[in-house]
């Protein structure tokens, strides 16, 4: 199919590459075109605006940082909505507020087009291994129409209800990522200050019953952060703030989420905002009185 992709960052660019390698024609837009130039060699056609992407695509994907960015690329004067027409579909893979997602879906329907919110669960390594999962919300018939394309992205595609419910599900998943990483960091530090090497502590913990799929690929980051953050502190804190807002709105107490959010605030205060959120380990290490090792890249 003729597809469009707006937001070709760390995850979006790699998803676009999977779509290209699955045989689709893909045109794309990124706010910083140079960061997406590598995709041209994969066959992507770079466009000058989100509107231009939409005008030549049957299905348009978006994957941007937050609700405000999504509103800009979709509802802006040269945005996706300006290029959408009857029969076209917008699939938003961003993690944004459920209310914001539903507002945009209403604008899309006003043009006789369709929208799904379809965030993903996984990381760079999960995506490159072909194991990404996708949760999808919107009209069931629209989901069925694009399900085959979503399966080109990852093998697990689940429909969860009407617009806004997929991003609600993603928020529920992501709050646990930060909480798990904080708890893992605490475990490593208790072992290390008890005389066990950091490397041995990480190895043993990742063979134990606590080793979730996320910890298996992110746990080693306490030994050295990646040069390119897979999911940085700022992005993770954005998701935790969405979770805390949901908790307040739905009367669900989120004490561990609130604690993890404060650790991320400390990370930002230490100048770690652009690092992978595994940097929570460094925050806790400093609080524990350990001299921070020279950061290595992995």
| Cα 27 to Cα 41: distance, rounded to the nearest angstrom | 13
- C-alpha span between 107 and 214 (Å, rounded): 36
Cβ-in-10-Å burial (0-12, 13-18, 19+) of 103 comes to middle
User: Is the distance from CB of 221 to CB of 280 less than 8 angstroms?
Assistant: no
Active-site pick, 111, 165, 170, 216: 170
**Could you tell me the CA-to-CA distances from 181 to 10, 109, 190, 233 in Å, in that order?**
21, 39, 14, 12
Q: Is the dihedral of CA 193, 275, 258, 170 positive or negative?
A: negative
Annotated active-site residue 170? The verdict is yes
d(CA 219, CA 232): 15
CB of 45 closer than 8 Å to CB of 21 = no
The pair of three-digit structure tokens given for residue 55, joined into one six-digit string: 């005008």
Residues linked to residue 26 through DSSP beta bridges, in sequence order: 3
| Lookup: tokens for 161 | 């209800």
Residue 32 has phi, psi (to 5 degrees) of: -110, 95
What residues are labeled active site?
Answer: 170
């Amino acid at each position: 199919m003729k597809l469009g992709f707006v937001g070709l960052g760390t995850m979006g660019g790699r998803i676009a590459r999977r779509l290209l390698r699955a045989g689709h024609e893909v045109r794309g837009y990124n706010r910083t075109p140079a960061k997406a130039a590598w995709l041209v060699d994969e066959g992507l056609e770079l466009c000058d605006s989100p509107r231009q992407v939409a005008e030549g695509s049957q299905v348009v994907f978006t994957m941007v940082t937050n609700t405000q960015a999504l509103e800009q690329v979709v509802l802006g004067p040269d945005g996706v909505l300006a290029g959408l027409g009857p029969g076209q579909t917008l699939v938003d893979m961003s993690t944004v507020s459920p209310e914001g997602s539903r507002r945009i879906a209403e604008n899309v329907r006003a043009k006789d087009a369709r929208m799904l919110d379809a965030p993903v669960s996984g990381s760079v390594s999960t995506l490159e291994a072909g194991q990404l999962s996708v949760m999808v919300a919107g009209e069931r018939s629209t989901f069925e129409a694009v399900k085959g394309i979503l399966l080109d992205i990852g093998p697990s595609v689940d429909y969860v209800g009407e617009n806004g419910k997929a991003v609600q599900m993603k928020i529920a998943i992501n709050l646990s990522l930060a909480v798990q990483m904080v708890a893992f960091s605490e475990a490593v530090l208790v072992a290390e200050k008890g005389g066990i090497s950091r490397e041995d502590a990480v190895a043993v913990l990742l063979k134990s019953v606590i080793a979730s799929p996320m910890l298996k690929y992110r746990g080693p980051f306490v030994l050295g952060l990646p040069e390119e953050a897979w999911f940085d502190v700022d992005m993770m804190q954005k998701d935790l703030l969405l979770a805390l807002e949901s908790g307040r709105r739905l009367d669900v107490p989120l004490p561990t989420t609130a604690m993890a959010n404060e650790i991320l605030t400390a990370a930002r205060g230490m100048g770690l905002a652009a690092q992978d959120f595994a940097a929570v380990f460094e925050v806790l290490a400093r609080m524990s009185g350990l001299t921070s090792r020279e950061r290595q890249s992995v």
